[in-house]
Structure formats: structure tokens, C-alpha cells
Amino acid sequence: MAPQRFQEQFDHIQRSMPGVELATGPDDAAEFIYEKGVVLARDGEEARLVEDTVRAHFTTFAGLTADEVRRDSPETNRSGITRIRVGDPGEGGRRGDRAVAGALRALREAEGNARRRLVSRNHVVHIAVNACPGDEPVPVAYSAGPNPTVAESGYDADSAVGVLVIDTGLMNDYASYPAMTHVQGDTQIDECDANGVLRQYAGHGTFISGLVAAVAPNTNIVSRNTLNDAGAILESEFGDKLFEAVERDGWPPLISLSAGTSNGSTEGLLGLTAFMEALREQPRTLLVAAAGNNASATPFWPAAYADKPEYAQSVISVGALRSDGEFGACFSNHGPWVRVYAPGERLTGALTGFQTPVPYTYHHSTYDSCRHGFTYACTCQDPQHLGLLTGEYETTSGTPDQVQFEGFAQWSGTSFATPLVVAMIAAHMTAHKETDPRAARQQLLAANTEFAEVRGAVVPALIPPTWSPVPVVNIPPAV
């Protein structure tokens, strides 16, 4: 039996959110995770309409309890979204929630008449579901150095470009890496467990910040721990947290975001509506967002806002190229809503262990072959290891593999292609004395001469000057 990656990661995220019951959706498909017993609606009249309509619907249909329907948050909120309780979150299992499904069904006619969405699940925004990051980190000797290597352009306090990283924060020893001298921010939540073993996805924000610092040294990077230790947050909380981050130090030129979710909709995330509208009105801020690692063409939000005309200038979505930069990585989301690609497989950067080695136990077992059907030796299968969580879903022999980190790691995902694009835009701003990040993005893409092939389409590829391709091994077909 192959590893059950989605279920394994669901368990990890559920453990990180005590008191919040989660389910998978939509219907019987495992495409995203959401909170049970709760739906979201816009504050004001729409919230009242949703509450009344759901209550009336539940009164009519057996098995749905109208008495459960009530407001679960103040009438007005910074994010413009009201939580509405529609059922007991403790009822049922992880495969969908009957009360939430009933609430969505109750609003179908009203939404058809309004020609827009009035109600939504409360999705989990994350770095982890399905395959994001595209793999787990692999130790790299400190003597090997990073890839991309640190650019020689230097740092100038008067012209440094501001970058806000929305992620898991910074590991305690990040400053031991000289390239991250001008990085500051929040500390990572719960780096290690009680036994001193590195937690899954710990260091994600550090790795991202280090990539920006390497490719664009002339940056002032602020890394926030907006996401929990599993790299997750509820949609209903995410909008507020984004507002807190930008208002804490002012709207920055560049925001690097390597988290998101699909939601089965082409309208984006209801919980981010207010923030995205505010972003659109900030002409000197550009959101650079990861396209996600589900190997899917389904829109992944907020990256997919780049495909909506009203947000096209304020958002750029980033997919990942495989380690040689010639084709798309097996895990990368794709489609016309992904605006640009950058190397995102087997990158080497700062993680932890610079002062004292830090042990790590693998959580997911590798596959016998690419789970997305690719024929090169991708990160689905190489390097091989046995994972801790996989043992909960299949019979395994042996103990989970454990390694030690002593500074650098090799890691893959659109999570890491994204900061490379952030850095290239920042470097362009420095080189051309451009203060407008949106103009810099346009100029960079207009001057770009690199392209790659992703699922048969020729796409623009932004390749950092200090990045070196890692050879790809093609696997011969089985006889």
C-alpha cells in the first residue's frame, strides 16, 4: 500500500489545532481541509440572510438541527467575515460534515439569484496539504554551501527593499547564518518536541527568508510567525492576521506568501476578501504567492487572484520548476492562473543546527514511483526514507529514518520557488533604482529571456543568476 500523504498531513494539521474539529472536502474528495460545524458569510445583511436561510432550511430537513444555527463571532470583524455555527463539530468523522454541506445547499437558490457566493466553508490555509512542501528537508553539509549561492551585490541600508515573509517565523539560530544578518521577525513556534527532535515543517519560514537573503542581499526581511507550527491557520483568522502583519510595520514593497488552499470556487477566499481589496489599493505593494503543490490545475488561493483582472497588478503566482529548470516539477500546480515559474526542486538553504546539530525524524515514507506519474527521479521517491506517520496507515518494517541538520537543508516546493521570485524582483528594484514593485515585476518579465515547459505549455521562467541546476535522472520504463 502506498503512503497516504493527504491523510497523514490531515492528522498533523488536526493535532496542531486542538479544540478545532476538521474535515476533508469537497464531498468525498480529499482536496482541502475545513472546520466542521461552521460556515462563513460577509458581515451585516448577508450574514443575517445566511443565518436565517440556514435555520429555515434545517427546520425543514430531517437530521439537521435548527437550534444549532447561531452567530459564532461579533457582528463586525476586521476581515469583514462572520462565523456562523451550523452544527455540532464533534459529530461525524473526517470525511465531510453534513451540517456544513446542508448550510451550503440552503444558500444555492439565493446565490444563484445574487450571481455570487454568499456562504463558504471555513478552510484551513496551509503549507502542507497533499504535498506542500513538495518533500521533507534533507541534510546538506555546511561546506557544500547554499544553492542559490549568496549574490555579491551587498547591502545598503538606504536603498534596501522591504520584504515581509508570512510564514512560520524564524528558528532560534537563524542569525548564525551570515547571509541572514538583515533578517528579523518572530520566532518559530515549537521548534522541537519534548525529546529535542525537530518538528515537521519547522524552519519553513527560515528557509524562505534565507533564499530571499541569498538572491537579494539588499533587502530588509521581516519574517512573521502568522502560521502555527504545522504551517496552518483557519481562513476566518487569516485575514485578520494579514492585516496585523502589514499594519505592524507598514505595507512593504513585497509580501512573500507560501501558503494557501483550493476551495472549489473561482471567486477566491471569502475570509480574504477585505485584505485583498485593501492590497489592491496599495500601489506600492506586490503579493508574491505560491501556486501550491497538488500537481493540479485547480485554482489555489490566494495565488490564483493573479488571474482575476481586478487583482492582476497586485498579485503574481509562482509555480515550481524541477531541479534542472527545464520542465515543471512533478508536484507543482499549473494552468493559466500560474503567471511565472522558478526553480523549486532540491534547493539548498538555511534551516537549523548551525550551532548544535538538530535531529529530525521523517514523517512521510517515499513512494516506489512518482505519485503524479512523472518518469524522472523526483522527490516523491528520492532520496528514499521511511516515515513515522505512514506507519499509521500501512504495515511497515523497520523504524522511521532519522537524520541530523547542521545548518543547511535541501528542500522542494512552490513554497521555495516563491521567495526566489520575490528576491529577483527586489534585486531588479535595487539594480534599476525602481521603487515600484509592480513596475519592477513588469519590467523583469518583459526583459526575461528564459522559458520552460510545463504540462506542454511554454511558460516564463525566472532563474536566479546564482542558482545552479541539479541534474535530473530519468527512470527507464519497467519492462
- Burial class of 422 by CB neighbour count within 10 A (0 to 12, 13 to 18, 19+): buried
Neighbours of 139 (CB within 10 A): 18
Say what the pLDDT of residue 7 is: 83
Give the Cβ contact number of residue 355 at 10 Å: 11
The grid coordinates of residue 18 equal: 486542538
Residues in Cβ contact with 157 at an 8 Å cutoff, skipping those fewer than 6 apart = none
Other beta carbons within 10 Å of 360: 26
pTM of the model: 0.95
Judge if the upstream peptide bond of residue 343 is cis by omega within 30 degrees of 0: no
Residue closest to 413 by CA, chosen among 203, 225, 208: 208
The secondary structure element, H or E, covering residue 120 is strand 120-126
State how beta strands 120-126 and 232-234 pair: antiparallel
Q: At what angle do helices 437-447 and 414-431 cross, to 10 degrees?
A: 100
How far is Cα 233 from Cα 244, in angstroms, rounded to an integer? Answer: 14
- 146 exposure class (CB count in 10 Å sphere: 0-12, 13-18, 19+): buried
Report the alpha-carbon distance of residue 188 to residue 127 in Å, rounded.
15
Name residues of the chain where pLDDT drops below 70: 1-3, 28, 62, 128-133, 390-397, 477-479
Between β-strands 315-321 and 340-343, what pairing exists: parallel, antiparallel or unpaired? parallel
Coil, helix or strand at residue 356: coil
Tell me the per-residue pLDDT of 213-251, one tens digit each, with 9 for 90 and over: 999 999 999 999 999 999 999 999 999 999 999 999 899
Angle between helices 45-60 and 98-106 (to 10 degrees): 110
The answer to whether the CB of 387 falls within 8 A of the CB of 398 is no
pLDDT tens for each residue of 321-333: 999 999 999 999 9
> What integer pLDDT is reported at residue 93 of this predicted model?
87
Specify the 3-state DSSP secondary structure of 369: coil
| Cβ contacts of 436 within 8 Å, gap of 6 or more | 283, 284
CA 101, CA 72: separation in Å to the nearest integer?
Answer: 18
Crossing angle for the helix pair 204-215 and 414-431, to the nearest 10 degrees: 30
Q: Which residues contact 16 (CB under 8 A, 6 or more apart)?
A: 228, 229, 230, 232
Q: What is the Cβ-side half-sphere exposure of residue 124, based on CA atoms within 13 angstroms?
A: 31
Cα torsion 140, 142, 143, 146 to 10°: value is 70
Q: CA torsion 291→297→300→304, rounded to 10°?
A: 80
Report the largest interatomic distance among the alpha carbons of the chain, rounded to a whole angstrom. Answer: 69
Q: What residue type is 385 in one-letter code?
A: H
* CA pair distance 207, 273, nearest whole angstrom: 29
Q: Which of 452, 392, 361 is nearest to 14 (CA)?
A: 392
In whole angstroms, give the CA distance from residue 48 to residue 435.
44
Read off the C-alpha cell for 406. 547542521
Which segments of 249-379 are extended strands (E)? Answer: 254-257, 286-290, 315-321, 340-343, 347-350, 358-361
CA distance 291 to 336: 11
Task: Check residue 96 and give its pLDDT.
Answer: 87
pLDDT digits (tens, 9 = 90+) for 48-96: 999 999 999 998 876 778 888 999 888 788 899 999 999 999 998 888 8
Using DSSP's 3-state secondary structure scheme, residue 462 falls into coil
Q: How far is CA 340 from CA 7, 328, 450, in A?
A: 30, 11, 11
CB 133 within 8 A of CB 46: no
C-alpha atoms less than 13 angstroms from C-alpha of 27 in its C-beta half-sphere: 3
